[in-house]
Amino acid sequence: MVLDTNTRVVALVGGVGGAKLVYGLSTILQPDQLTVIGNVADDFELYGLHISPDLDTVMYTMAGLANPTTGWGIEGDTWHVLEMLQCYGEDAWFRLGDRDLGTHILRTQWLRQGHTLTVVTQRLISSLGVKSRLLPVTDDPLVTMIDTVEHGTLAFQDYFVRHRWQPTVKHVWFKHADQAHMTESVKTALHDADVILVCPSNPVLSIAPLLAVPGMREMIEKRRAVCVGVSPFVGGNAVKGPAAKLMQELGMAITPRGLIDFYAGGLDGLVIDVSDRDQPLHADVPVLVTRTLMQTSEDKVRLARELFKWVGSITT
Amino acid sequence: MVLDTNTRVVALVGGVGGAKLVYGLSTILQPDQLTVIGNVADDFELYGLHISPDLDTVMYTMAGLANPTTGWGIEGDTWHVLEMLQCYGEDAWFRLGDRDLGTHILRTQWLRQGHTLTVVTQRLISSLGVKSRLLPVTDDPLVTMIDTVEHGTLAFQDYFVRHRWQPTVKHVWFKHADQAHMTESVKTALHDADVILVCPSNPVLSIAPLLAVPGMREMIEKRRAVCVGVSPFVGGNAVKGPAAKLMQELGMAITPRGLIDFYAGGLDGLVIDVSDRDQPLHADVPVLVTRTLMQTSEDKVRLARELFKWVGSITT
């Protein structure tokens, strides 16, 4: 396929790792070429505020506000609201920065006023100067649930933050998924896409909830777009976070092959890290071997460029 | 009357000035001797949060957290949430500090969970280590409305903060007052009081809304307690804020006599500032002339001590 300034890219993304690649893409594409579909299954309510950790990580990263050390939150943020909540005896288990809370306060207000999460997210991100679209996969409730050996069933943030993803995972499922609807914006974006990119996000916790929304998997299977993935693994491990530990506990292989199997024929190509080049692959899935670790802005832009160039060489 | 450690004092209070005297009282009384009845008619909602400016001023002052320069807000507070709201294009006309927002976030959450403002306020203030009771006069909606010459009818914070109390006031009224109920806690406190103290707060904007709640005025009129006031005026003017300007616009005298008339026979005694000692008074209302300006902690404690000693000399 020929890639040019008319090529429309849809990125499926979770949090930190995927957000970095999205940032790289946003620097090489025109704003209207890029639509990002974000995960909402880690959304939760805290202190009466609607928190959307994955959407915010993508939004802050695209806006150039993200904390480069943690990958989440806002660079230089402070913790004074949280300190006050602790004065009132609250357990501040989830780290909410002051500037970050500005986002949650407005989101919550606008949702209560009856706006959809799609509208609210668009309003927030465009106020921060980002011109590409960031779409929640659904405006309906969707919650990642983790069945663990030690603590029974945990809601995602309980597992991820409160228990620091240490419990052993038996099963992951998505509460309310059967009643969730793809938004019209998501349908249109997928329908119009020339390239669908599965970002280097946690396959089970970030990408699977997107695919759990009825219709998503079917639309991707019936695509006319090229669908490529970027492996979140480096050297047979996750760069950060629970992906490798959790997938092992679920009996999945932390390899490019394991990833291709997980996406069950959905990928027309896969980008893997040089450190994983000796892992076995099927010959029928084209692979780009490069450095996938994104530590600097230059890394993000370089990977996006290589990816985009390579996608043009894939024939489906 | 004999004042001792069994004497129960109820203070009717608005914001800054009254809060200072309440602080002084709290240092000379046992916690269970003091009950503060606070104004809620300046409460409003902003960014979906329930703000109670007067209650918070009293709470922060009693807890020793108040900003000594402004009299409201928390000392050393920062403005990072508000800065972020401005990034999102919000008009940050009302100055909400970060730590202060911790209060509003929790209050809003607890109110939404179905707790009364009385319960919420008690939970907040006791978490800050204050053992005396701070009671909102009512748990029902009550809103100070200002009819102005220049801008028509304004809700209180619009008049007070957005327009910096510059519009000319024609009339002040209290929306929803006829449907508001005194809380059981307020009724009990007034019933049990030995001394009712009308703090040096704005008579029209802070004390009048308390008296506008059906039953309040009647309970005070039928009191067995001694009811004394502290004039908010110094040298024929307000120490701070719109009291003098507004009362003049309403045709009221900015004098001890004007105050006695405003409270319509409700006062058994009045404390006035030395600078107002030459103002005419009725001989039938006992007066304590002293320095009422409270700039330091020592001022607050001294005034509370003098007041308390003098109240013991009043026979009703």
* Gap between the Cα atoms of B24 and A283, Å rounded: 82
Give domain limits for chain A: 9-41+131-148+175-311
Per 3-state DSSP, chain B is made up of helix, strand and coil in percentages (nearest 5) of: 40, 20, 40
**pLDDT at A1 exceeding the cut of 70:** no
Confidence of residue A283 (pLDDT cuts 50, 70, 90): low
For residue B280, the tally of other CB atoms under 10 A from its CB is: 8
pLDDT at A310 over 70: yes
Interchain contact A296–B (C-beta under 8 A): no
Write down the pTM of the prediction.
0.93
Return the pLDDT at B1: 67
B99 neighbourhood in chain A, CB within 8 Å = 80-81, 83-84
Distances A179 to A135, A182, A233, B121 between C-alpha atoms, Å: 18, 10, 32, 39
The DSSP line for A72-130 is SSBTT---HHHHHHHHTT----S---HHHHHHHHHHHHHHHTT--HHHHHHHHHHHTT-
Domain B9-43+131-147+175-311: which topology? Rossmann fold (3.40.50)
- CB atoms B88 and A106 under 8 Å: yes
Judged against a pLDDT cut of 80, whether residue B80 lies above it is answered with: yes
pLDDT given for residue B316 in this prediction? 64
Distance in Å, alpha carbon of B87 to nearest chain A alpha carbon: 7
Tens-place pLDDT, residues A153-194: 999 999 988 899 999 999 999 999 999 999 999 999 999 999
Q: What is the pLDDT of residues A6-51, one digit of tens each?
A: 899 999 999 888 999 999 999 999 999 999 999 999 999 999 999 9
Chain A, residues 33-62, CB within 8 A of chain B, namely: 47-49
Predicted confidence band at B92 (pLDDT cuts at 50, 70, 90)? confident
Rounded to a whole number of angstroms, the distance between the first and last alpha carbons of chain B is 9
Q: Is A47's CB within 8 Å of B81's CB? A: no
**Candidates A49, A77, A81, A127, partner chain B, best to mutate (most B CBs within 10 A):** A81
Give the C-alpha separation, A253 to A271, whole Å.
Answer: 17
Q: Nearest residue of A to residue B46 by CA position?
A: A109
What is the arithmetic mean of pLDDT over A277-303? Answer: 88
3-class secondary-structure state, position B293 = coil
Q: Which residues in A lie closer than 8 A to residue B105 (C-beta atoms)?
A: 47-49, 81, 85, 101, 105
Cα of A217 to nearest chain B Cα, Å: 34
Instruction: Pick A81's closest partner by Cβ from B99, B123, B124.
Output: B99
CA distance B185 to chain A (A): 23
Which of A83, A99, A103 has its CB closest to that of B99? A83
CATH fold, domain A9-41+131-148+175-311, is: Rossmann fold (3.40.50)
Listed residue (B104, B115, B120, B123) closest to B43, CA to CA: B104
Residue of A nearest to B125 (CA): A88
Mean pLDDT of A231-236: 90
